[in-house]
Chains A and B, each alone.
Chain A
Amino acid sequence: DTAVSQTPKYLVTQMGNDKSIKCEQNLGHDTMYWYKQDSKKFLKIMFSYNNKELIINETVPNRFSPKSPDKAHLNLHINSLELGDSAVYFCASSLRVSGSRDEQFFGPGTRLTVL
């Protein structure tokens, strides 16, 4: 009965590799997000999708490509991994894109380590 789930929980990989992180929510929400949390706990939004449509695209290297096959899933693919990509990546979801500020529910995070 997990609300927002992410796989894998831990990911250790070499520089230059390509990896994907998957996210699924069973809350019936319309909007999903990817955040990056660095080693100093600073949490910054990367992308947001509403009903499979990209609505937020922050200044993120184009090595990062989100994909939303349906509104319950938002995956993150990262090409040519670099040392600076090491961080915890959080997926989140909320009910709708505008109007009242709906609570964002966060997943447990994926800890990515690039060696």
Chain B
Amino acid sequence: QKEVEQDPGPLSVPEGAIVSLNCTYSNSAFQYFMWYRQYSRKGPELLMYTYSSGNKEDGRFTAQVDKSSKYISLFIRDSQPSDSATYLCAMSLPSGAQKLVFGQGTRLTINP
């Protein structure tokens, strides 16, 4: 079993829809949680960053962390075709070297 599980999709939704992306993890020691966006043939770029449990909002994006359930989510409101990309969740321990453990990534397509 992988440390971080993420449904690879693909996920296809119409423009304007609310998108929900999720990851589950097994290591309860993870404290830092991130969402990266990766466009085709590009490197991942950081989208959202959350420490421990709670919600964080940035424009159309909301990240949620539920440490009791070992479950994190990314919500995209009013989705746009430019949001079409692969979304990777990542997490790391609170101390030591910054080893990010990634989920497999969910491929998302927003249809105009």
A: residues with CB less than 8 A from B are 4, 31, 40-45, 48, 50, 55-56, 90, 92, 94, 97-98, 101-109
Q: A90-B43, A101-B32, A109-B43 are in contact. Are A41 and B8 (CB under 8 A)?
A: yes
Q: Nearest chain-A residue to B106 (Cβ)?
A: A41
Q: Which of chain A's residues have a CB closer than 8 A to the CB of B98?
A: 31, 48, 94, 97-98, 101-102, 104
What class of interface size applies to chain B in its complex with A?
Answer: 20 to 34
Known: A41-B8, A108-B41. 7 other contacts (CB 8 A): A4-B43, A42-B102, A50-B97, A98-B95, A98-B97, A98-B98, A109-B42
- A-B CB pair tally, cutoff 8 Å: 63
B: residues with CB less than 8 A from A are 8, 32, 34, 38, 41-46, 49, 51, 86, 88, 92, 95-102, 104-105, 107
